[in-house]
Structure formats: structure tokens, C-alpha cells
Amino acid sequence: MSPLPPREATVDRLEVHLVGDDVLVPCVDGTQRPYLSLDAAASTSALPVVAARVQEFLPWYSSVHRGAGWKSQRATADYEQARQAISAFAGRDGRDDVTIICRNTTEAINHLAYRLRLRPDDVVVTTVVEHHANLLPWARLSQRRYVECSADGTFGVDDVAAALDGGPRPALLAITGASNVTGWVPPADEIIAAAHHRGIPVLVDGAQLAAHRPLPADADYLAFSGHKMYAPFGAGVLIGPRATFSDGDPFLAGGGAVDLVDLDEVVWTDPPEREEAGSPNVLGAVALHAAIDELTRIGWAAIGVHDDDMARRLRGGLERIDGVRLLGVSAQPGSLPVASFVIDGVSHALVAARLSAEHAIGVRHGCFCAHPYLLRLLGLTSPEVADYHAAVLR
Ligand SMILES: Cc1ncc(COP(=O)(O)O)c(C=O)c1O
């Protein structure tokens, strides 16, 4: 294994500490070591300012959009301010969009899939790179056409255009903003332009992108999760044009979404409340607002430099270890600091277990909720895929 280059080769490092960074965890040799989370693509710990804002808000916690008391008024105001901040963060100021606060990206995409009123023969174009959250909601309701990736796990705008043009006109293009497996960031702006040129609306799954890069301003629909943005308090977001949510019944039916109910009648209220039945997660919204304020304060430029630095060190470091094989893009400029690797001949579960038990390093192993992508990145043959399939069924 060759040594890593010295750290001073890096630029202006961003020193951000997260709640729990100093926590010790037990290792198999009986020592306690500082836990090192290398699992932030799955979930990030809270920023201290997020935890502080939640703590500060807790005494004022009350029902949102329901109570007449002072605390309810204040909680409602904080919730609505969070909605405005989320909308501005997503570049939606001045657009007639609706910002819906939900649980996470998965719920947001299921919500949209329901709201688009897809018919079984409608086609959604999506890609083999997607997280299951951007595959399964479409699989349940519509036909799919997929953009394939090459061996390095990427595709180009032309590949997307070919899939858009390759059969019945699609109702939607649903595409990731960044891969949770390789950190690859597809050229979203060009892809969106190609879809719009054909009159096709676009959903960008911003789960990985939202904490790292500005969300694509021209996407028609956006989905992202607070728990991947240093605000792990259970709030996620769906944003889309008001027209999508103005008519018809919402994804969730219940209190808060209505103007009038009789036993055989319902008059739905206007969005966004129409789309947020049940008591809203005001703590999650306040936390996400705080995270957005902090990301904005730090600024995309500093975050980008820090990400590039980490991505270089992460991939460079892994590549230098004998026997470690990186999956997918290795030197794609602008990729997020996310990497997946295999150690030939060693089970992924064992690698992850040893990193945890011996070194207090938390990683994720397996297929990262992106089975189709992993099969391609691993370059498995059809018989190998069939064996894997049979093993899972057994
Ligand atoms: C690219 C991508 N999309 C969607 C999701 C689903 O996010 P959530 O679990 O917050 O619903 C994830 C989670 O890892 C992801 O990485």
C-alpha cells in the first residue's frame, strides 16, 4: 500500500463538527474508540446549530394549523417560515410551486407518483442508476423505459434523449441528481433541457444532491430528505407546480387537508395543506430550516471545494490499497465524496463487520438500495445474476 499524499496538499478545509462526532464505541479488542461515520450518504448526524434550534424550539412546541393558542400560532409561523426557506433553498422563489413537507425522498416520490394520476399504459423514463425510491413507485403504477449506463456507471445526455424518444411519449423523466453508490452527478441541467425540448416534465431525486450542490433550478419536481442534510428529525420535501396538486384527491386523506367533510362528502382544501393530511412534523421542518440556513451560510463554493478534496482523498486512498477495487467512475470531476468498493475474495459483510469491530468505522455494505445499478457496476454475467436471484429466493 503506497502512502497518502500529505494533507497540506488540500485547500481551505471546512472544519464542521457534527453532534456525536466525539462518541466512543466499543471495539472487539476491548478498547473504546471514536466512532467514524463513513455512512453519511445514508444518513448524516445533526449539525450542532440544528440540534440547538430544535432545543430552542421545544418549549414552544405545539400543534400546527390547528390550535388557536399562542404556542400553536408560533409553531404554525415557524412551520410556514421553514416551508418558505425550503422553497427558496430549492430555487423556487417566484414560481407558482407547492412545497410539501413530508417524511423523506421515498415518500415524496410515492406522493408524486400518486398525484400524477398515471395510467397503467403511461410510460415513465428513468435510469438504471436510480435508488429503489426512484424505481419502485413508478414500477407500481406505470410502464418504464430505462436509460442504461456504461461499465463506469454513467450515461450521457444522448442516452437520455434516446430513451425519451425510444417509444411511446413518456409522461415523466425521473432521474437522480447524484448517485448514492458512486457519487456520480449526472449533467442534470442538460438532461432537463433535453426533456423540456420534448415537452416532458422532469423529477430530480435530490436526496444525495441537496446538501452538496444547488438543486437544478429547471426541474419540474424535486424530492429530498432532511436526514441526509444534517437535519435528522424526520422531514423530507416534495416540490412541484401548483397545477399538479390543485385538483383531485391527495396522496394522504385525513384531517387538515379539508375545508368540509360530511359522511359522504369531502371538499379538499388548497395545497400545500391539501397534501399534508395529519399533524405536520414541525420539529423536522424547524430542523431542516436550520440546516438550510447553515448550508447557505457556509456557501456552495466552500462546500464544493471541501467535497472535491474529500472525493479525491477517498478515491485516491482506496485505489492505493492492494486488493481494493472501486466501483464505477473513479476520476469523474465533480463527483460527490461517495465511493463503493469490493475486496476481491472477501465478503462485503465481513469487510463492513471488521471495519466496525476493529476500527470503529461505520460503513454500509450490500447493494445500497440500488440493485440494478450494483449488478451493472459489478459486471455480473447473466448466469451470475440468475444464481444471485435464486439465492435470494431461497
Ligand atoms: C439517491 C437516493 N434517492 C432516494 C433515497 C431515499 O431516501 P430516503 O431514505 O430519505 O427516503 C436515497 C437514500 O439513500 C438516495 O440515496
Minimum CA distance residue for ligand 1 atom 15: 207
Determine the residue of 106, 110, 126, 212 to mutate for testing ligand 1's pocket, defined as the one with the most ligand atoms within 8 A of the Cβ atom: 106
Residue-level pLDDT at 15: 79
The CA-based dihedral angle spanning residues 217, 186, 235, 254, taken in that order and rounded to the nearest 10 degrees: 80
Q: Which of 106, 178, 171, 180 lies closest to 137 in space, CA to CA?
A: 106
Q: Is residue 205 within 6 Å of ligand 1 at its C-beta?
A: yes
Residue 135: DSSP 8-state: T
φ, ψ at 205 (rounded to 5°): -80, 105
Which residue of the set 102, 149, 367, 369 is catalytic?
A: 369
Q: Which of 62, 64, 133 lies closest to 276 in space, CA to CA?
A: 64
Instruction: Give the atom of ligand 1 at the shortest distance from the alpha carbon of 105.
Output: 11
> How many other CB atoms are there within 10 angstroms of residue 391's CB atom?
8
> How many other CB atoms are there within 10 angstroms of residue 369's CB atom?
18
CA dist 298 → 13, 85, 207 (Å) = 12, 16, 19
Q: Is residue 276 within 6 Å of ligand 1 at its C-beta?
A: no
Q: Is residue 131 within 6 Å of ligand 1 at its C-beta?
A: yes
Instruction: Tell me the pLDDT of the chain (394 aa) as tens digits.
Output: 444 444 444 445 677 899 999 899 999 999 999 999 999 999 999 999 999 999 999 999 999 999 899 999 999 999 999 999 999 999 999 999 999 999 999 999 999 999 999 999 999 999 999 999 999 999 999 999 999 999 999 999 999 999 999 999 999 999 999 999 999 999 999 999 999 999 999 999 999 999 999 999 999 999 999 999 999 999 999 999 999 999 999 999 999 999 999 999 999 999 999 999 999 999 999 999 999 999 999 999 999 999 999 999 999 999 999 999 999 976 567 899 999 999 989 999 999 999 999 999 999 999 999 999 999 999 999 999 999 889 889 9
Q: Is 369 assigned a catalytic role?
A: yes
Residue-level pLDDT at 392: 86
CA dist 40 → 87, 141, 232 (Å) = 24, 31, 11
The x, y and z cell numbers of residue 193, run together, are: 433541457
User: What contacts 113, CB < 8 A, 6 or more positions away?
Assistant: 137, 138, 140, 141, 142
Q: Is residue 180 within 6 Å of ligand 1 at its C-beta?
A: yes
| Architecture of the structural domain at 7-47+299-393 | Alpha-Beta Complex (3.90)
**Measured in whole angstroms, how far is the alpha carbon of residue 304 from the centre of its chain?**
17
Compute and round to an integer the Cα radius of gyration of the chain: 22
Compute the distance between CA of residue 171 and CA of residue 198 in angstroms, rounded to an integer: 11
- For ligand 1, the distance from its centroid to the CA atom of residue 134, given in whole angstroms, is 8
Domain ranges of the chain: 7-47+299-393, 50-297
Residue-level pLDDT at 13: 66
Compute the distance between CA of residue 284 and CA of residue 322 in angstroms, rounded to an integer: 43
Q: Is residue 99 within 6 Å of ligand 1 at its C-beta?
A: no
Residue 377 near residue 328 (C-beta atoms within 8 A):
yes
DSSP string, 187-254: -HHHHHHHHHHTT--EEEE-TTTTTTSPPPTT-SEEEEEGGGTT--SS-EEEEEEHHHHHSS--SS-S
Which stretch of DSSP H or E encloses residue 283? Answer: helix 282-298
Q: Which CATH number applies to 50-297? A: 3.40.640.10
pTM score, whole prediction? 0.95
Q: Is residue 105 within 6 Å of ligand 1 at its C-beta?
A: yes
> How many other CB atoms are there within 10 angstroms of residue 29's CB atom?
8
